[in-house]
Amino acid sequence: MRRSAVLVLALLLALCAACSRDPAPDAGAADGADGGPSGSVTISGDDSAAAALTWRRPAVALEDGPDALGEARERAQSALEADRLYEGEGAAIPLFLAVLERDPEDARARKGLASARARLIARGDAALADSGDDAEALRRARSAAAVARVVWPEDEATQAYLQRVDVADRLWELNRAAEADLEAGRLGESGEGALPRLREALELAPEQPRAMQNLAAVESGLIRRAENAAAEGEFAAAAQWLDHAEAIRPGMETVPDARERLERMRTLRIARLRDQGVAALSEFDGIAKARAILAELLLVAAPGDPLAADLRERIDLAVHYGLFRPGQVFTDALAGGARGPRMIVVPHGAFTMGAPATEAGSSDSERPQRNVRFERGFAMAVTETTVGEYRRFVNATGYQTRSARRGFSMVYDERSGNFVRRSGVDWRHDDLGREARDDAPVLHVSAVDAAAYADWLSEESGQRYRLPSEAEFEYVLRAGGEGPYPWGEGAPPEGAGNLTGALDRSPGGRRWSNAFPDYGDGHWGPAPVGRFAANRWGVHDLAGNLSEWVADCWHDNYRRAPADASAWVNPGCRNHVVRGGSWSSGPDQARSAWRMPAQRDTTNARIGFRVVREI
């Protein structure tokens, strides 16, 4: 035993001698609990070199004499109890080592040195417990490791402690490198950067607080990227960033909370874009602007998003209807303070105009049939123009109608059952030449008189009013139907319109010689407007009551007619087209395709008009 101890001490002395060749720097900062003179442990300015630190044992000079070893042991024991382990020549470990150099068999010194080793490792472990985010604690743990490595290099407890210090060093380096990556924005979701370093750290020390905190910082960085992407409208990229973030700390609420925030951002952005698109529709070139906004919205919105669908529908409506919707009823304000006629927006679409050769009662003037498409909707007056509406025009302008200027018009004569000329009749009178009610359709107006009223409405409202084209009239009259009559096939249903019915009787008891069997509407002569059911598109009296002027000049057939729905007009034409059956028209004249020429100055008790408005 003595020979073995001598060999160990000789090795220690050799190691310490090798260390003592370098000057000892100030070690006071290495272990503030011990204090003592400077120069016991080297502390590198670079933490990466700390694992190579060695302890420079302080030189201890023992006096000669029989009590020298005992005094040294006492001094060492006092230093041990004061927890001064290795700093300076008065520390416990240097003193115990000095005693054992003199007497390797000194049992008390050996026991004291063993106690010092236990205290040193315990102190080191306490420092290691705080070393995750405390550089000073890691320095203290390294200092203890340097002493243990020199004094007890082969000891199992020393080796185990040194391994723990190595792990702490590695954790420190991994966390420090990860923090540098975080600061530089290298989060590591693609395999390089903070994330793989932190995963390695957590394999070494699961739940290590500093690594967990840095891991949360990586997650926050990915969430921040998602939020930045969302702020730019890149919600697909934002979702990918959140997927990366969710894989970092599964089960935490941070990513689900972020998803909710981003969904709110998405919802607000969609709503804002939709509002911008709607507002753009009222601007110059608004449809193009709204379409560009819709394209941006569709990049953000999920399939089937209702606000995206709403904006798309509004753009479609604007293309076809301006700022209106099909079926919408409105009136325009007129400059004099009154309101214009009630108008209804007609849906855009297409139909086959005219009658097939096989249609009973048809004529060649209604052919050839042709397909007409309305790329844009328009508005049509809900009813025929009334006496009251025409009165506002005449009062505002002093306009003189054709019948007023020439002093007569054609009225119905009950005694003869025919239409006769009667003096003093104009737009103010009914079918019999009596004063007309304001809600009666205006009669005794020419095509020129009707166009003058439309021009006045345009001036007063700032909108484009006109007579309907022949194609527009038939399109609305059919209202999507394809049969010979506006209601389809056969006899008219009850309330279909003011038509010639076999059940109708004049005040004098006359019957129609050519009428719809088993039909009666209770009127002999024009009815007040709107008394019969509207058609499927909300327009009244197109199928009866009065025939109506349209804007087209008369042509014998539809060959070379305009390809669109515009009126076919020849400058200076004398004959215009009359469309739609009247209260005195036979069944053939109630057909949807029926048309008739009339000189533009014609006035009588069968023809009125209504207007359309461009939208």
DSSP 386-404: BHHHHHHHHHHH----HHH
Given a cut of 60, whether residue 588 has pLDDT beyond it is yes
Per DSSP, which regions of 42-177 are E strands? none
> Tell me: the pLDDT tens digits for 323-374?
899 999 999 999 989 999 999 999 999 999 999 999 999 999 999 999 999 9
Given a cut of 60, whether residue 115 has pLDDT beyond it is yes
Give the helix/strand (H/E) hosting 421.
Answer: strand 418-423
Give the helix/strand (H/E) hosting 381.
Answer: strand 378-381
Of the pLDDT bands very low, low, confident and very high (cuts 50, 70, 90), residue 53 is low
The pLDDT score that the predictor gives to residue 10 is 36
What lies within 8 Å, CB to CB, of 427 at 6+ separation is: 387, 390, 394, 401, 403, 404, 442, 443, 444, 445, 449
> Tell me: the pLDDT tens digits for 363-397?
999 999 999 999 999 999 999 999 999 999 999 99
Distance (Å, whole) CA 540 – CA 418: 27
Given a cut of 60, whether residue 137 has pLDDT beyond it is yes
DSSP letter at 34?
T
As a whole number, the mean pLDDT across the chain is 91
The pLDDT score that the predictor gives to residue 206 is 95
What lies within 8 Å, CB to CB, of 607 at 6+ separation is: 443, 445, 546, 547, 548, 549, 578, 582, 598
DSSP letter at 554?
P
Give the helix/strand (H/E) hosting 217.
Answer: helix 209-231
Mean pLDDT of 155-178: 96
> Tell me: the pLDDT tens digits for 245-294?
999 999 999 999 999 999 999 999 999 999 999 999 989 999 999 999 99
Please give the radius of gyration of the chain, using alpha carbons only, rounded to the nearest integer. 53
Which tokens hold the place of 7? 């060999």
> Tell me: the pLDDT tens digits for 15-36?
333 333 333 333 333 333 343 3
Q: Are 114 and 107 in contact (CB under 8 A)?
A: no
3-state class of 115 per DSSP?
A: helix
- Helix then strand count (H, E) for the chain reads 16, 13
Which tokens hold the place of 376? 């844009």
Overall size of the chain counted in residues? 615
Stated pTM of the model = 0.65
DSSP letter at 253?
S
**Omega of the bond leading into 368 within 30 degrees of 0 (cis):** yes
Point out which residues pair with 613 in neighbouring strands.
379, 465
CB atoms within 10 A of CB 32: 9
